Structure 1
Amino acid sequence: MAVLRYADGPGVTYEVYVEANPSRVWELVTDIHLPARLSPELQRVEWLDGTDELTKGAGFLGYNSHPRIGDWRTASYVTELDQQRVFGWVVTDVDGAFAGPDGAGRADVASPAATWRFELEPEENGTRLRQTVRVGPGRSGLSLVIDQAPEHEEQIVESRLGQLRSHIESVLDGIKALAENRTP
């Protein structure tokens, strides 16, 4: 049985079938402000540098809150953008809140705190919508928790992945409801 380690970049995926065409689902998925309405952790989002157009390389700030680690900001950068198919971004520690003792890990797109991705596939009369998150390899709030109890890393990572899956479920179920013209 493999040991679950943060440095290995573990992740979770959740998917739903949405009774709406891919263009409608894409419109919702690429609205960077929408997840803040649907997620218990992400509080709000704003574009970096006055940008308000979703393009590869575009950046946005995320304002987050978690009962165990408090409030923090992240800077995310669009890394994948394939119209009506894939929208992906990396999350960095813009303020150095989770940087290690040497300051490593701050705003490093090459070593992100997390990598997120939406995938859309036409299916029957609707869309198969999938969201994936991979944590690490860069430092994040999870790193701080592991630093406090490294002997429990596997349980800490497993617990966080469970939380992230729950957050993804909330977001995808909300997108599904909106795309199908229901109240999320």
Structure 2
Amino acid sequence: MSHSRIALCAVGAAVAAVLTAAPVALAGTATVGGASAKVSPSTVAPGGSFTISLDCSAFANPSPTPGEGQGLQEAVKFKAVGGGKFEGTGKLAAALAGAKSVTISGHCLSSDSASAWTVTVTVAAVAAQPTGPAATGAGIGADAGEVAAGAALAAAAVGGAAYLRRRRADGRA
């Protein structure tokens, strides 16, 4: 292996180590405990809404990052409700093909620290939507040919009954 390839591999390994290090430190901050979050309702149908209640009161002058996760229509933005607590309303994407849950995460930030939070929304099962025409019972699935044949039989029966009635009236029956 050439020296340039070895150097490139070393740089790639260093970048991978930095990107996958846990916990992730945010731009000059330390990750510490103290954030908590809960979601209500915990089970939501695709396209439905939910509320995240976030408690960042363990920090001085906290500021939450938006809640993000795959399966959301957009990031959940938070508004202060007092005492270091925040609330935000989110909406699941309407098309969550086969998804069982959506994980939403963010951070509580202060001037010198950060704490990660995570909530999980269970995706409610949606009943399959019917396809094709509605089966109302009217027509019972008969097509135009069957309807025409039935009408011809009914006309023949009425005509036959009228013929026999006339013959009896004439005394030829």
- Shorter-chain TM-score bucket reads under 0.3
The normalised TM-score by structure 1 is: 0.24
Normalization by structure 2: what TM-score? 0.25
Q: With CA pairs under 8 Å and 6+ residues apart, which has the higher RCO, 1 or 2? A: 1
User: Highest CA radius of gyration, 1 or 2?
Assistant: 2
More strand, by proportion: 1
The structure carrying a bigger helix percent of its residues is 1
